[in-house]
Structure formats: structure tokens, C-alpha cells
Structure 1
């Protein structure tokens, strides 16, 4: 049997609904027919994708990995068959937080001037791959290395390294500190961690200094991260891009010594996998424009310098 688009849609409906019965109603097909479609897909993949032994249907490990690929494939087909995308075809640039830092506006303006026929849409998607695996974006600004399963089918271009900064409440003793802070200065405070798309984990601290996980303040996005710090509930670690893109009257950013830089990359899907071809034909032009914007910024004597 050859897997078809209907098999992917059926699997995604089951994954979203949490039950075959609800998914069948949503797809307006009988439950036995949907179960047969799922079984055909599992036979084709040679793996069980859905665990039916529990009281509530759950995806297996293989099913969770396959879900992102199936969603990306369906989104690509839907986009290709959308008449509204024929002219023009927007290039969707995703980011999970802080976009391109201080280079964001120059990038958007340069693109609009150089390629007015291809709109560039900047989208914040709170995922580690900023919408690439789910098909919500064509190319993404991604910080820190991806996990092997996340990087499968993705290509990328390194742009620069961003220096880490500490984010502390404006009325704290850390904010009054002159000069850079270090990791040891933060360990006596709860650490705000973005567990969805952030790059900071407690492993950043040496084992002998590592804060207790019990004291960490877990958040799901940059807004909540800033809110926790502004309220005095925590301190945080991010990069210079966050300081540039998210100034806050109740948060002070300080350079963080000894924590290492964070790589920033432009990453895109290759379609089909192994072809080396991006999912949008304008991706190579975006890479070129991003590198040009960086090069021009480095040439300014008054510009804060990053690491290239």
C-alpha cells in the first residue's frame, strides 16, 4: 500500500482529537473506516503510531516524532494548492523570541526595498524550531543547537554568536552592580526558565554552583519570562538580542561573564528531504540579505559588536 495525503490527515485528526471516535466525527467518516486508515498508515510506516491500550488514546514515541513530519507535509501541500499563494508568495520568517535582535528592522526594510514582489512575514511561534517542523514558517531564526530529531530535514546558515546577559529586577541589588555579573551571582535567586523555546537550562551552571530545580520558575514564552523577572520573582539569562528587542522599565540587563555565547542561525526545511532544496525559493536571497545587514553593522564604529 502507498500512503496518501488522506492517511496523514487521518493520523493528525486522531492526534489532535485524542480519540478515534472524536476524530471520525470531525472528518465525517465512520469509526471503523478511520481505524482501518490508521492501521494502513502504521503498516506502511512499519511502526505503531498510536497506543490504544490506555484509557485515553496516546501517541507512541514513534507517533510523536512522526506527527511533526506529517503536519509539515500536509501544510506544504495545502500551501501549494492554495490559489491565494500563487501571486505573491510570502516568505514566512519565524522566530521564537527576539527575532534578529537590533538587526530585525534593517533586515525587514532591506528586504522590502530589494524584493518588493515577495512579502516577508515575521512570525513569532513559541516552538524550538519557530514553526518549521509544524509547517507554520518557511525559514526561522533559531538559537542554540537543535536535537537530532528536530534537525532532521533542516538546513541552516550560521549568522553570528550572541553574548549572554543577565536579566534582573530593576529594584534588586544585582541591578545596582556595576560591571558584568557572573553565574555565581545569580544562584541565590530563583531562575526563570523558558521550557518551550528558551536556550537557558540549569546545566549552564557548573555542577558545584547549579541552582536547585525546585526553585526554578518555569515559563512558556518571553512575555511570561519578563513578567516573572519584573515582579521580582526570579532572575534570568538570555542574549543581547533580548535586551535590544525587549526593554522593560522593571528589568535591567547586565553583561554575563563566563557563560559562553549563543549561536544564531537561519534554518529552513529542505523539500523533499535530501534534495537540498528549500521549501521556499527565496530562502537563499534572505540568507544573503541577512549576512549583508550583519556586515554593514560590523562596519559601523559606533555599533555594539557581536561575535562573527
Structure 2
């Protein structure tokens, strides 16, 4: 005789109810059917699982041990047959302002093609870790130094810096700029999620004034209005075209590191695949 899942379910009902009649009622079976199923199980195992020598049904020592195993079998079967378990939860990927730059669409298209069972949700969150520390996302594309206890980072590459200047200005007409060329201007600084501060400039040419904003949209608006100029990653130019703003390469500013980050011990199962794909795309795009 082959032991089937119904045998495990029947025994668990008996162990729970400690009464064959009540176990039968909970399973919508007759009491003789429950007794027969229990007898088949004991014959197959070659041990007694239930002690019927008293007025109250009790489990033998072997029955108590088998109860734990039966519960494991039934739980595994229920999980395997749950339709929701056949689809992985989405991988929520945070970014503060530019995701993977011009390669963002490539990342999304390739992920959908190569990982069809796991949706990739791209979320913009305006904070330094793009929602990672707050738990709003599973992983995040971050730029610049990343601080935070329990954060793991996977280096993807570096991005050159560009200046954001008002169109029509003398700076916008230049093919390239240096930090010294920008030193006499007010500098737009995104204090929440940006990677450029006045400390980027050497002390002897450090700009005198910063215009502080809280997000990329306000940063671009400040530049377009002529209130300030800014320095950012080249990825910003690839994603954020903005009326009144021109982007010009800055030749002497240190590149910006780009990493994929996630929380240690709490990684989505598909995070390693995302890290490999993002690194490959960044490499193929020419970033170092």
C-alpha cells in the first residue's frame, strides 16, 4: 500500500481532536473511514501511533514523533500547491534621481526578457539610500559614498561629472568646463539625495554660496531659472532633459561611483541576478 497525503492529514486530525469521531467530523469522513486510514498508516510504519487502551485517545511516543513529521509534510504540500507561491514577489529597485542613466531602459527590457518570473519595479525615492533603509525597496542604485549599518554594496562602475548651466549663458557655449570655471557661480546643491557639495572644489577656489534644494526637480528648476549652476553625474543628462538647462562635461572633477546596494540578511532572491545584469550593462555602456 502507498501512503498518500490523506493519511498524513487524517493522522493530524486525530492528533488534534484526540477522538476518532471528532476527527472524522472535521475531515467530513465517517468514523470507520478514519479508523481504517489510521490502521493502514500504522501497518505501513510497523508501529502503534495511537494508544486506545484508555477512555481518552492518546498518542504513543512514536505517534508524537510522527506528528511532527506529518505536519512538515502537509505544510510543504500546501505551500507547493499554493498558486501564489509559483510567482516570485516583485523586486523593488529604488533610485533617487537617475536610475541607470541612459541604460535604464536596457536594464528593464533585458530583465523582463531574462527573468520573466520576477517583475522588476523601478521606484524613485527622494532620500540618500533611495528607500533602502526605510524598507520601501529591496535594492537601490546609489551614487557617491553610501553609509548605513547593514548595507551591502556591489560596485557597478563610475560616471563622469557634468555641469548643469542655464541655456544661453556663456558657460553653455563651452565644449567643456573645469571646476574653476564654475567657482564664481552659486551652486545648486541637493541636500537630500545629491552627490555634489561645495567640498568638491579645492578650498582655494571653493564657491562662496550654495542654493539648497531637496530633490532633482527643484535642482533643475533652480538652474533653468538662472539662480545657480550645478554639477552632477552624466547619467542625469541622459535621463533629465529640462527646458532651459544645458549639460557640459567637467574635465577635472572626480568621477562618481555607482553601486547596487541592498540590506544584509534581507536580500530578495533575485538580487544576485540583478547585480550581475546591471554590472554587465554598465560595462557595455563604457563606464569603468
1:27-38 map, 5 Å: none
Question: Once the 2 structures are TM-superposed, how far is the Cα of residue 84 of structure 1 from its aligned partner?
Answer: 11
Residue 171 in structure 1 maps to residue 149 in structure 2: no
User: Residues 84, 98 of structure 1: CA spacing in aligned structure 2 closer, same or farther, 3 A cutoff?
Assistant: farther
Residue 181 in structure 1 maps to residue 177 in structure 2: yes
Question: Once the 2 structures are TM-superposed, how far is the Cα of residue 189 of structure 1 from its aligned partner?
Answer: 1.3
Residue 210 in structure 1 maps to residue 206 in structure 2: yes
Residue aligning to 1:248: 242
Residue 116 in structure 1 maps to residue 116 in structure 2: yes
SS at match of 1:263: strand
Specify which of 267, 282, 287 is matched with residue 294 of structure 1. Answer: 282
Q: Take 1:296 and 1:145, find their aligned partners in 2: how far apart are those partners?
A: 24
* Structure 2: gaps spanning 5 or more residues: 1-81
User: Larger Rg: 1 or 2?
Assistant: 2
**Equivalent pair of 2:167/2:244 in contact (CA under 8 Å):** yes
Specify which of 265, 269, 272 is matched with residue 284 of structure 1. Answer: 272
TM-score normalised according to structure 2 size: 0.69
Residue aligning to 1:66: none
Give the number of aligned pairs: 206
User: Residues 84, 225 of structure 1: CA spacing in aligned structure 2 closer, same or farther, 3 A cutoff?
Assistant: farther
Q: Take 2:193 and 2:280, find their aligned partners in 1: how far apart are those partners?
A: 27
SS at match of 1:136: coil
Residue aligning to 1:143: 143
Residue aligning to 1:130: 130
User: Residues 85, 291 of structure 1: CA spacing in aligned structure 2 closer, same or farther, 3 A cutoff?
Assistant: farther
Residue 199 in structure 1 maps to residue 187 in structure 2: no
Q: Take 2:257 and 2:119, find their aligned partners in 1: how far apart are those partners?
A: 27
SS at match of 1:168: strand
Question: Once the 2 structures are TM-superposed, how far is the Cα of residue 85 of structure 1 from its aligned partner?
Answer: 7.8
Q: Take 1:190 and 1:139, find their aligned partners in 2: how far apart are those partners?
A: 34
* Structure 1: gaps spanning 5 or more residues: 1-82, 272-277, 298-304
Question: Once the 2 structures are TM-superposed, how far is the Cα of residue 288 of structure 1 from its aligned partner?
Answer: 1.3
**Equivalent pair of 2:94/2:137 in contact (CA under 8 Å):** yes
Q: Take 1:292 and 1:180, find their aligned partners in 2: how far apart are those partners?
A: 29
Residue aligning to 1:232: 226
Q: CA RMSD in A?
A: 1.7
Q: Take 2:127 and 2:143, find their aligned partners in 1: how far apart are those partners?
A: 11
User: Residues 283, 184 of structure 1: CA spacing in aligned structure 2 closer, same or farther, 3 A cutoff?
Assistant: same
SS at match of 1:203: helix
**Equivalent pair of 2:151/2:262 in contact (CA under 8 Å):** yes
Q: Take 2:204 and 2:114, find their aligned partners in 1: how far apart are those partners?
A: 52
1:32-71 map, 5 Å: none
SS at match of 1:175: helix
Q: Take 1:196 and 1:247, find their aligned partners in 2: how far apart are those partners?
A: 21
**Equivalent pair of 2:161/2:231 in contact (CA under 8 Å):** yes
User: Residues 172, 113 of structure 1: CA spacing in aligned structure 2 closer, same or farther, 3 A cutoff?
Assistant: same
SS at match of 1:159: strand
